[in-house]
């Protein structure tokens, strides 16, 4: 018999996966041996590919779904539920993990097995992405390459943010993580969703709590979102537009009345890596349409 309360926990697993506390950027020590590297955290795998260093990778975690070639690497499990022996099975020489990976016991055992690991700080801002790239460069000992990539990404991000500079009417966006039996889990502040909404020149409709929580109907009505944002999970688990807009509280919001919903692939939208600039563009265009500058 499973415990009776696994349902709220399951609903929150995903929410938790998308939360992180910003850490101070600190320099990472280069790994002594990066010939067999395991990266844990999808955005780290993306950065390693963007640096052209994918030849060193021998493993990834289940959150690494881009680029296509990354899927060929053995999957050592979900970043927050790593199996130490699974990680050891790909015989890694070093382990690069995104902040929030664990459990701590697993990482401790791996250190004991003399596999050095470094933690890359997670951040849901423009600077956060650059800090990640810099940290990966330091750990892999390819700082020049990382500096070049960071410059390119920096420019790209600035361009993308520029799009919505002159928007006069800021739109309010409600990020819905999941909807079960009419219960809506939505993102407050301090999350990846909150970060991407801000970068796309919009406002998060929910600002009175941190992280992901279930919203009451009245809070949804009061939030008055103009647009609903959801992750596109390729069909499974997704809530249909029909279900969404027939939700009594949502149907009373501007987003519900104008049937405005944006769906974007989760890893792309919330990964905060090299692809974030184009995710910002996609989201900004979806929210503001033709009213954007520089189009």
Partner 1 sequence: MTDLTLKAWFAAQERPARAGDRARLAGVTVIGLAILLVVVSLFSLTTGASGSSGWAVIESWFGLVDKSDPAVLREQVIIYDIRLPRLVLGILIGAGLAVSGVVMQGLFRNPLADPGLVGVSAGAGLGAVVIIVLGGTIAAPLVALLGIYTLPLAAFGGGLATTLTLYRVSTSRGQTAVATMLLAGIAIGALAGAVTGVLVYLANDQQLRDLTFWGLGSLAGATWLKIAAAGPIIAVAIGATFFLSKGLNALTLGEATANHLGVPVQRFKNIAIAAVAAATGASVAVSGGIGFVGIVVPHLLRLVIGPDHRFLLPASALLGASFLLTADAISRVIVAPAELPIGIVTASVGGPFFLWILLRRRDRLAW
For partner 1, what does the binding mask look like between residues 53 and 92, x meaning CB under 8 A?
------x--x-----------xxxxx-xx-xxxxxxxx--
Q: Name the nearest CA neighbour of 98 among 107, 85, 89.
A: 107
DSSP helix/strand/coil, 139: helix
- Measured distance CA(152)–CA(197) in Å, rounded: 22
State the angle between helix axes of 192-199 and 143-162 in degrees (0 to 180), rounded to the nearest 10: 60
Q: Is 98 a binder of partner 1 (CB under 8 A)?
A: no
User: Least CB distance from residue 102 to partner 1, whole Å?
Assistant: 7
DSSP helix/strand/coil, 100: coil
Of the pair 77, 141, the CB lying nearest partner 1 is at: 77
User: Least CB distance from residue 206 to partner 1, whole Å?
Assistant: 15
Q: How many residues bind partner 1 (CB under 8 A)?
A: 44
User: Least CB distance from residue 138 to partner 1, whole Å?
Assistant: 24
Phi then psi dihedrals of residue 272, to 5 deg: 50, 65
Q: Name the nearest CA neighbour of 186 among 14, 62, 1, 32.
A: 14
User: Least CB distance from residue 38 to partner 1, whole Å?
Assistant: 10
Q: Which residues bind partner 1 (CB under 8 A)?
A: 1-6, 8-9, 12-13, 15-16, 19-21, 59, 62, 74-78, 80-81, 83-90, 100, 102-103, 105-106, 108-109, 112-114, 211, 213
């Amino acid at each position: 018999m499973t415990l009776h309360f696994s349902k709220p926990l399951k609903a929150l697993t995903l929410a938790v996966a998308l939360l992180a506390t910003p850490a101070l950027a600190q320099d990472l020590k280069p790994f002594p041996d990066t010939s067999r590297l395991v990266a844990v955290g999808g955005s780290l795998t993306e950065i390693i590919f963007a640096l052209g260093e994918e030849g060193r990778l021998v493993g990834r975690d289940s959150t690494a779904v881009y680029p296509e070639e990354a899927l060929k690497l053995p999957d050592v499990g979900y970043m927050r539920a790593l199996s130490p022996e699974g990680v050891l099975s790909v015989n890694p020489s070093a382990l690069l993990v995104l902040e929030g990976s664990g459990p701590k016991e697993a990482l401790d055992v791996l250190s004991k097995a003399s596999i050095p690991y470094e933690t890359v700080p997670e951040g849901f801002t423009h600077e956060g992405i650059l800090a990640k790239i810099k940290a990966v460069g330091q750990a892999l000992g390819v700082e020049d390459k990382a500096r070049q990539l960071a410059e390119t990404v920096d420019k790209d991000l600035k361009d993308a943010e520029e799009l919505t500079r002159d928007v006069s009417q800021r739109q309010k966006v409600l990020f819905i993580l999941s909807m079960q039996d009419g219960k809506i889990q939505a993102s407050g502040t301090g999350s990846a969703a909150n970060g991407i909404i801000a970068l796309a020149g919009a406002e998060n409709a929910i600002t009175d709590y941190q992280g992901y929580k279930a919203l009451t109907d009245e809070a949804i009505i009061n939030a008055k979102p103009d647009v609903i944002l959801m992750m596109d999970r390729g069909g499974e688990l997704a809530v249909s537009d029909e279900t969404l807009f027939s939700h009594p509280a949502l149907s009373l919001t501007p987003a519900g009345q104008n049937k405005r919903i944006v769906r974007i692939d989760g890893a792309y939208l919330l990964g905060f890596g090299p692809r974030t600039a184009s995710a910002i563009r996609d989201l900004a265009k979806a929210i503001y349409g033709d009213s954007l500058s520089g189009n």
